[in-house]
Structure 1
Amino acid sequence: MPSSAEFRPSAPDAALTPQAHGLHQALLSLLEEGQPAAGGRLPSERQMMARFATTRITLREALAQLEAEGRIYRENRRGWFVSPPRLRYDLLACLPFREMVESQQRRAETTLLEAGEVPAPAVVARRLGLAQGAPVQRIVRARRIDGRPVLYVEHHLRPECFPGILAFDLAARSLTDLYRREYAIRVSRVGFELGSTVLGGRAAEALRAAPGSPAQRITRINHDQNGRAVDCDDEYWRHDAIELTLSAAPQSRD
């Protein structure tokens, strides 16, 4: 398992107090030595305070910096952990979650949190070209990599495109695969919206994170082979869990 320094760039820590900066560097050295290993739990805050002869305020300042750098993460009522290597998320590949994870020799799991028909919120209606309040199918799932909850995703589908889809096993089946096999719908074009955000209450709970924790938002709007917007989804990732990649041929310039 590579150390955190091998797959995650360092962020500047000029804003830290001198005490927190020194503690940050000491903790960073331990992480780079694999103590603990990726995915492992750090000692309790009380133990770290005693070990480094520091205050809780200084410790939390140093831990917050390491969290912002993506080197560690916190789970509610469980403590601090060393972040595993990031998943490479190739936007152009458009791979289903399980296929993307397993292609990188990782383990994927999905839990279905909600599935039903709801009135379309304004932003969903705009994306799908519907009237606000028109019925849409809403599917909410939480997804894990190697047992760690990292992704909360909300899907909204045009119901006329996918009649009966809510009856399928939506925890085990890929929506992309269901579209193709059961409805003869092939995603031919995808629009992306990317942004940094924080986890809201429900997403934070699903990912065992504190509300307000940093997150990466990826919104996708999928169009079928006829150019029709058939669904959209909002993915909320723990910010240290993925590395976005994109490969494209540059256009020639005069």
Structure 2
Amino acid sequence: MREAAPRAVTLICQALQEQIEHGLLSSGCKLPAERKLSEVFDTTRITLREALLQLEAQGLIYREERRGWFIAPARLDYDLMKRSHFHAMVRDQGREPSTRLLSARQQPAPAAVCEGLQLPPLSSVVQLRRLRCIDQRPVLYVEHYLKPAVFPGILEHDLSQPLTELYLNQYGLRYGRVCFEMTPTALHVEAAAALKVSVGSPGLLITRVNFDQDGRLIDCDLEYWRHDAIRLSAQVG
């Protein structure tokens, strides 16, 4: 006999969480199709989906469009106070990073970018859109906005490499002060498509406004992270 829906959801969550904690369902493992899982737990697809959504909200599993459900890997530790670029941060934690350039162009700056970079209306900026992966899993969609006067000719360079290294090697610039703003968000169309999730899926938006070693405002980044991909930390003082 099938359990009442609320109790069934709890039992499904507990059963799958136990399998994950004991390593029987390992990181990256694909779960059976929802139809099969509903048969295993003798429940309806609606009840099963509610349990899966709860586990997704906890960061234990994740869904990819048209591919199904997977066991989530360990979160990346993201120390906001440590000056490190994405590739170095990922490798330091024993994992494999990669970056793919999605687009690069000079364009009129969006209003929010004009405000963040203290630019007058209708100013031009260089926009870079990049997708970043950990162990081949897309976890971060980034929009970089650069002041063209600070980075002449930057579109001619390899823009899949860490910008930290490109800035230093080609322009003699190092990051100085950084201002962070973090906001839970629903992933918009471009971010969701890059991260292979549904539009409106939960994410974390980290906005970074960056200054160089001389205190000059040089660029800003809009980082759209999968909500289950990172663990934020900071030590002050």
> 2:119 is matched with which residue: 130, 140, 149?
130
Matches within 5 A, 1:96-135: 96-135=85-124
Q: Secondary structure of the residue that 1:17 maps to in structure 2? A: helix
Q: In structure 1, what is the equivalent of residue 23 of structure 2? A: 34
Of 222-231 and 152-161, more deviation after overlay is shown by 222-231
Looking at structure 2, the residues matched to 132 and 145 of structure 1 have their Cα atoms a distance apart, in angstroms, of: 37
* Whole-Å separation in 1 of the counterparts to 2:79 and 2:96: 18
1:235 counterpart = 2:223: yes
- 1:73 aligns with 62
What is residue 191 of structure 2 aligned with on the other side? 203
Report whether the alignment pairs 1:226 with 2:214: yes
Which residue of 2 is the match for residue 20 of structure 1? 9
Residue pair 1:188, 1:223 contacting (<8 A) in 2 also: yes
Name the count of aligned residue pairs: 233
Q: Show structure 1 runs of 5+ residues with no match.
A: 1-15, 250-254
Contact residue 116 and residue 137 of structure 1 kept, 8 A: yes
Aligned partner of 2:224: which letter?
Y
Deviations 1:24-66 (A, max 9, x none): 1122112222232111111110110111101011000000000
Q: Secondary structure at the residue paired with 2:175?
A: coil
Return the offset for 1:224. Answer: 1.2
SS for the counterpart of 1:19 is helix
Q: How far does the alpha carbon of each residue in 1:141-165 deviate from its partner, in whole angstroms, 9 at most, with x for none?
A: 0010001000000000000000011
Deviation >6 Å, runs of 4+ = none
Aligned to 1:62: 51
In structure 2, give the amino acid aligned to 1:238.
Answer: R
User: Counterparts of 1:36 and 1:132 in 2: how far apart (Å)?
Assistant: 53
Gaps of 5+ in 2: none
TM-score, with structure 2 as normaliser: 0.96
Q: Distance in 1 between matches of 2:176 and 2:138?
A: 29
Aligned partner letter, 2:157: F
Find the counterpart in structure 2 of residue 5 from structure 1. Answer: none
RMSD: 1.0
Secondary structure of residue in 1 paired with 2:35: helix
CA distance in 2, matches of 1:44, 1:33: 21
CA shift digits 1:221-241 (9 cap, x unpaired): 001122221000000011111
Aligned-residue identity in percent:
51
Spell out, residue by residue over 1:194-236, the C-alpha distance to the aligned partner (whole angstroms, 9 max, x if none).
1111111111110111111111111100011222210000000
Residue of structure 1 in register with 2:77 after alignment? 88
Name which of structure 1's ranges 157-166 and 25-34 shifts more when overlaid on structure 2. 25-34
Q: Is the 8 A contact 1:38 1:82 kept in 2?
A: yes
Q: Given the alignment of the two structures, is residue 141 of structure 1 paired with residue 144 of structure 2, yes or no? A: no
Paired with 1:224 and 1:247, the residues of 2 have a C-alpha distance of 22
Distance of 1:22 and 1:34 partners within structure 2: 19
Q: Is the contact made by 1:127 and 1:229 (CA closer than 8 Å) also made in structure 2? A: no
Q: Aligned letter for 2:234?
A: L
- The answer to whether the Cα contact below 8 Å between 1:88 and 1:243 also exists between their aligned partners in 2 is yes
Q: Hey, what does 2:178 align to over in structure 1?
A: 190
Match of 2:33 among 33, 40, 44: 44
